[in-house]
Copies of this chain bind each other. A is one copy, B any other.
């Protein structure tokens, strides 16, 4: 069997508020989990400030390197929302007012106080040649241009935008994760982990230690695109842990 190719994605998180520590990013984890369900692997993330050049540089570095590039942040109605301008400049295309986006905003703000002001109309601007991504949460759409998917920074709105893409991105096999937990200091089982991984090509085992209820422990996450292999490796790891005197816990602790 020819192995499936691996589809990859990158994410550019745009926002001074993440880099200042004011706001805790939630989009990396949210997008990573969702992409895996689509059979796409998130393999690189960059966080950049609200700066045209830095956004453009990251976008151009990553869009050619991966099947998909996502961005979050900077598509609202205020002066610090410059993502559309930065991406258009990076692609060398003009910014237009997208007719469909304008119609969506007209309908959304009809009857709302103030109506479709100039500031709100900013959210209809896209790089030329773009399509829209549905946003059932708050009206203003996301944007796709080429392989770039431009999402809002507010996690609930970003979630609404990617939901509209579910099942529409071409991907391969999702990575299957099997987690085995044990009340073991990871340094005590390091050899056992390394040997188990080495015996199973195509499998990666991560070790994530914790200190809880006064004791050390770790969760071992076995990842593979081959679900049967991941599960078999998990069972073998559990047996090895048991043989070494630990009580492995399926699903992790």
Contact = CB atoms under 8 A, between A and B. Distances in A.
A119 B187 contact: yes
Interface string A17-50: 1111111111011111110100001111111111
A163 interface: no
Contacts of A211: 138
A223 interface: yes
Interface in A135-177: 138, 154, 175, 177
A117 B44 CA distance: 34
Q: How many copies does the complex hold?
A: 2
A182 interface: no
Contacts of A248: none
B25 A25 contact: yes
A207 B78 contact: yes
Identify which of A123, A206, A221 gathers the most chain B CB atoms within 10 Å of its CB: A206
Contacts of A46: 44-47
B47 A54 contact: no
Contact of A119 (B17, B22, B191): B191
Interface of A: 13, 16-26, 28-34, 36, 41-50, 54, 76-80, 114, 117-120, 122-123, 138, 154, 175, 177, 185-188, 190-191, 193-194, 197, 204-209, 211, 221, 223
